[in-house]
Amino acid sequence: MTVRCTLQGDVEVIALDNPPLNSLGLDTRRELVAALEQAQADPDVAAIVLTGSGRAFSAGADLHEFGSPRAGQEPGLAGVIGTMERASKPVVAALHGLALGGGLELAMGCHYRIVAPGTRVALPEVKLGLLPGAGGTQRLPRAIGVGPALDLMVRGEQVAAEALVGIPEQKLFDQLARGADTVLDEAVALARSASRRHAAGAPLPRLRDLPCGHPQGDAYFQSARDAVRAANRNFPAPLQCVDAVESATREPFDVGLAHERERFVDLMRTPQSLALRHAFMAERSARKIPDVAPDTAQRTIAKVAVIGAGTMGGGIAMNFLNAGIPVVMLESSQQALDRGLATLRRNYEAQVGKGKLEPTRYAQRMALLTPTLGYADVADADLVIEAVFEDLGVKEQVFRQLDAVMKPGAILASNTSTLDLNTIAAFTRRPQDVVGMHFFSPANVMKLLEVVRGGGTGRDVLATVMAVGGRIGKICVVSGVCDGFIGNRMIEQYTRQAGFLIDEGCTPDQVDKAIEAFGFAMGPFRMGDLAGNDIGWAIRKRRAIEKPGVRFSKTADLLCAMGRFGQKTGAGWYDYAPGKRDAVPSRLVLDMIERHRAELGLTPRPIDDEEIVQRLVYALVNEAARILDEKIASRPSDIDMVYLAGYGFPLHRGGPLHYADGVGLSNVAKAMERFAQNPHDDAGFWQPAPLLRRLLAGHATFASLND
Q: Which stretch binds ligand 3H9 (CB under 6 A): 58-66, 205-213, 497-505, 559-567?
A: 58-66
Give least dist CB 131 to ligand 3H9, A.
7
Q: How many angstroms separate the CA atoms of 481 and 100, rounded? A: 40
**What CA dihedral angle connects 662, 664, 667 and 668, to 10 degrees?**
70
Amino acid letter for position 624: A
Q: How many angstroms separate the CA atoms of 275 and 278, rounded? A: 5
Which residues does the annotation mark as catalytic? 105, 125
Q: How many residues sit in the footprint of ligand 3H9 (CB under 6 A)?
A: 23
Quick check: 528 binds ligand 3H9 (CB under 6 A)? no
Quick check: 134 binds ligand 3H9 (CB under 6 A)? yes
Q: Which stretch binds ligand 3H9 (CB under 6 A): 120-128, 248-256, 667-675, 682-690?
A: 120-128
Q: How many angstroms separate the CA atoms of 129 and 266, rounded? A: 11
Give least dist CB 522 to ligand 3H9, A.
28
Quick check: 129 binds ligand 3H9 (CB under 6 A)? no
Quick check: 98 binds ligand 3H9 (CB under 6 A)? yes
Task: From 701, 651, 663, select the one nearest 283 (Cα to Cα).
Answer: 651
Query: By C-beta, is 116 or 421 nearer to ligand 3H9?
Result: 116
**C-alpha distances in Å from residue 85, one per residue of 10, 35, 98:** 20, 14, 21
Quick check: 49 binds ligand 3H9 (CB under 6 A)? no
Q: How many angstroms separate the CA atoms of 378 and 306, rounded? A: 8
Contact pick of 128, 279, 424, 443 for ligand 3H9 (by CB under 6 A): 128
Q: How many angstroms separate the CA atoms of 309 and 327, rounded? A: 12
Quick check: 64 binds ligand 3H9 (CB under 6 A)? yes
Quick check: 141 binds ligand 3H9 (CB under 6 A)? no
Give least dist CB 348 to ligand 3H9, A.
27
Q: Which stretch binds ligand 3H9 (CB under 6 A): 54-62, 340-348, 372-380, 495-503?
A: 54-62
Quick check: 458 binds ligand 3H9 (CB under 6 A)? no
Q: Which stretch binds ligand 3H9 (CB under 6 A): 126-134, 201-209, 250-258, 562-570?
A: 126-134
Quick check: 276 binds ligand 3H9 (CB under 6 A)? no
Q: Which stretch binds ligand 3H9 (CB under 6 A): 57-65, 422-430, 438-446, 548-556?
A: 57-65
Contact pick of 100, 425, 462, 651 for ligand 3H9 (by CB under 6 A): 100
Quick check: 82 binds ligand 3H9 (CB under 6 A)? no
Residues 299-318 that bind ligand 3H9 (CB under 6 A): none
- Residue pair 444/319 in contact (Cβ under 8 Å)? The answer is yes
Contacts 24+ apart (CB under 8 A), 564-571: 564/533, 564/589, 565/532, 565/533, 565/534, 566/528, 566/529, 566/530, 566/531, 566/532, 566/533, 566/534, 567/529, 567/530, 568/532
How would you classify the pairing of strands 448-452 and 112-115?
unpaired
Task: From 129, 389, 155, select the one nearest 279 (Cα to Cα).
Answer: 129
Q: How many angstroms separate the CA atoms of 369 and 339, rounded? A: 15
Q: How many angstroms separate the CA atoms of 620 and 627, rounded? A: 10
Query: By C-beta, is 132 or 523 nearer to ligand 3H9?
Result: 132
Quick check: 61 binds ligand 3H9 (CB under 6 A)? yes
Quick check: 77 binds ligand 3H9 (CB under 6 A)? yes
Contact pick of 23, 119, 533, 614 for ligand 3H9 (by CB under 6 A): 23
Contact pick of 90, 132, 148, 314 for ligand 3H9 (by CB under 6 A): 132
Q: Which stretch binds ligand 3H9 (CB under 6 A): 55-63, 196-204, 436-444, 660-668?
A: 55-63
Task: From 371, 381, 447, 442, select the one nearest 408 (Cα to Cα).
Answer: 381
Torsions phi, psi of 429, nearest 5? -100, 15
Those residues whose C-beta lies under 8 Å from the C-beta of residue 270, and which sit 6 or more positions away, are 129, 236, 237
Contact pick of 52, 90, 102, 340 for ligand 3H9 (by CB under 6 A): 102
Quick check: 107 binds ligand 3H9 (CB under 6 A)? no
Give least dist CB 61 to ligand 3H9, A.
3
Q: Which residue number has the CB closest to ligand 3H9?
A: 101
- Residue pair 322/400 in contact (Cβ under 8 Å)? The answer is no
Quick check: 477 binds ligand 3H9 (CB under 6 A)? no
Quick check: 593 binds ligand 3H9 (CB under 6 A)? no
Query: By C-beta, is 16 or 491 nearer to ligand 3H9?
Result: 16
Quick check: 105 binds ligand 3H9 (CB under 6 A)? yes
**What CA dihedral angle connects 396, 398, 403 and 405, to 10 degrees?**
160
Task: From 151, 123, 124, select the one nearest 214 (Cα to Cα).
Answer: 151
Quick check: 452 binds ligand 3H9 (CB under 6 A)? no
Quick check: 607 binds ligand 3H9 (CB under 6 A)? no
Quick check: 282 binds ligand 3H9 (CB under 6 A)? no
The length of the chain in residues reads: 707
Q: How many angstroms separate the CA atoms of 464 and 471, rounded? A: 10
Amino acid letter for position 687: Q
Q: Which stretch binds ligand 3H9 (CB under 6 A): 59-67, 188-196, 238-246, 420-428?
A: 59-67
Contact pick of 12, 31, 85, 125 for ligand 3H9 (by CB under 6 A): 125
Q: Which stretch binds ligand 3H9 (CB under 6 A): 100-108, 428-436, 582-590, 656-664?
A: 100-108
Q: Which stretch binds ligand 3H9 (CB under 6 A): 62-70, 369-377, 535-543, 623-631?
A: 62-70
**70-104: burial string, b at 16+ Cβ within 10 Å, e else:** ebeeebbbbebbbbbbebebbbbbbbbbbbbbbbb
**C-alpha distances in Å from residue 410, one per residue of 313, 375, 404, 416, 456:** 19, 14, 12, 18, 15
Please state the separation of Cα 25 from the chain's center in Å: 24
Query: By C-beta, is 133 or 646 nearer to ligand 3H9?
Result: 133
Residues 3-22 that bind ligand 3H9 (CB under 6 A): 20-21
H or E segment and range at residue 176: strand 175-176
Q: How many angstroms separate the CA atoms of 389 and 387, rounded? A: 7
Give least dist CB 37 to ligand 3H9, A.
21
**C-alpha distances in Å from residue 355, one per residue of 117, 325, 361:** 27, 23, 12
Contact pick of 197, 269, 284, 581 for ligand 3H9 (by CB under 6 A): 284
Q: How many angstroms separate the CA atoms of 649 and 661, rounded? A: 15
Quick check: 499 binds ligand 3H9 (CB under 6 A)? no
Quick check: 62 binds ligand 3H9 (CB under 6 A)? yes
Quick check: 229 binds ligand 3H9 (CB under 6 A)? no
Contact pick of 3, 15, 16, 59 for ligand 3H9 (by CB under 6 A): 59
Sheet containing 120-122: order of strands = 98-100, 120-122, 159-160
Query: By C-beta, is 75 or 117 nearer to ligand 3H9?
Result: 75
- Residue pair 619/498 in contact (Cβ under 8 Å)? The answer is no
Which residues are at the interface with ligand 3H9 (CB under 6 A)?
A: 20-21, 23, 59-64, 77, 98, 100-102, 105, 124-125, 128, 132-134, 136, 284
